[in-house]
Amino acid sequence: MKQLTKVLVCASMILSATSAYAERLEVFRWQALDTTAQQLAGTLMEAAKLHEKSGASVGIFQMDVGGAGNTTFDYVLRWDSSADWAKTKAYNAGEEFAAFFAKAGANPSGKLMMSLEGLNWDTSVTAQSFAEDGPFRVFIWKPTPGKMADVYNTFMKAKAIHEGLGVKINIYNEGIGGTGNIHYVMSAKDWASMASSGDAIAASQEFRALQASAAGQVTPVASIQGFPIYYSK
C-alpha cells in the first residue's frame, strides 16, 4: 500500500504541474478505409483549418513503422492552456463543426482507432514548439509500481543525453483515455538527422550505463515511427 501511495502521489504531482502550465494534447488515430488514404488526409486537413479557428494548433502525422493494416494518421490537437482547450471543445459542439462532421460521415474515408490525452512534463513547451519538427519516434512505457520517482529521474537523464546527441525529446503522461503509461517522443529535423542521432545514441556508453541502471523501472508497451504531413504555422 505504501508503494502504491508513493506512485499515486508522484504521478499526481507531475500531472498537476503539467496540466496547469504546459502544452497539452489530444491524439486521434485514424486509419484509412481501403484505397481512401488520400481522401482521409484531405478530410483531416479540412478539419485542421476549422480547429485552428478555435485556437488549437494542429498536427497531422502519417505512421511509417509500428502500425498494421491500411495507412494510418495521428491527428493531434495542442493547446497552451485549459482556456484554449475549452474554446475548442465548445467549437466542436457548434453548428460549423457539426456540419463538417456530418459531411465527412456521409462519405467516410477512415475509422477512428483510438483517442488519448497527453500532458507534457516540460512546462516550457508550447503548442507551437513543434511547427518545424520532422520525423519522430514514440516509445511507450509502463512504469513499475513503486518506481515512479526513479523513472522520472531516469527519463530526465535520458532526455539530456539524447538532446545532447541531436534529437529533440518530449515526455508525456497519459491523461483521459490512457492507462498510466509514459510516452517518450524523439523528433528530428529530417531523416538524415534522425539516422545520425540514432547511430550516436547506439554508440553512447553513457546511455548504455543509464539503461543498465534503470533495469526493472519500466516495461515496454509499444513504439511507432512517423512523419508530419501538416502542422499549424
- Residue 69: its pLDDT value, please? 85
CATH among 3.30.70.100, 3.40.50.2300, 3.30.365.10, 3.40.640.10 for 2-231:
3.30.70.100
Q: Tell me how far apart the alpha carbons of residues 139 and 185 are, in angstroms, rounded to a whole number.
A: 6
Nearest-10 crossing angle of helices 148-164, 2-21: 50
Domain boundaries, the chain: 2-231
pTM, 2 dp? 0.88
Q: Tell me how far apart the alpha carbons of residues 189 and 152 are, in angstroms, rounded to a whole number.
A: 26
**Which set of grid coordinates corresponds to residue 36?**
481512401
- Residue 1: its pLDDT value, please? 39
- Residue 93: its pLDDT value, please? 95
Q: Tell me how far apart the alpha carbons of residues 95 and 101 are, in angstroms, rounded to a whole number.
A: 10
- Residue 35: its pLDDT value, please? 80
Burial class (CB in 10 A: 0-12, 13-18, 19+), 16: exposed
- Residue 109: its pLDDT value, please? 94
Q: Tell me how far apart the alpha carbons of residues 114 and 27 are, in angstroms, rounded to a whole number.
A: 8
pLDDT per residue of the chain (233 residues) written in tens, 0 to 9: 344 333 333 444 444 444 455 689 999 999 999 888 999 999 999 999 999 999 999 999 999 998 888 999 999 999 999 999 999 999 999 999 999 999 999 999 999 999 999 999 998 999 999 999 999 999 999 999 999 999 999 999 999 999 999 999 999 999 999 999 999 999 999 999 999 999 999 999 999 999 999 999 999 999 999 999 999 98
The two most distant CA atoms of the chain are separated, in Å, by 57
**Which set of grid coordinates corresponds to residue 105?**
460521415
Burial class (CB in 10 A: 0-12, 13-18, 19+), 52: middle
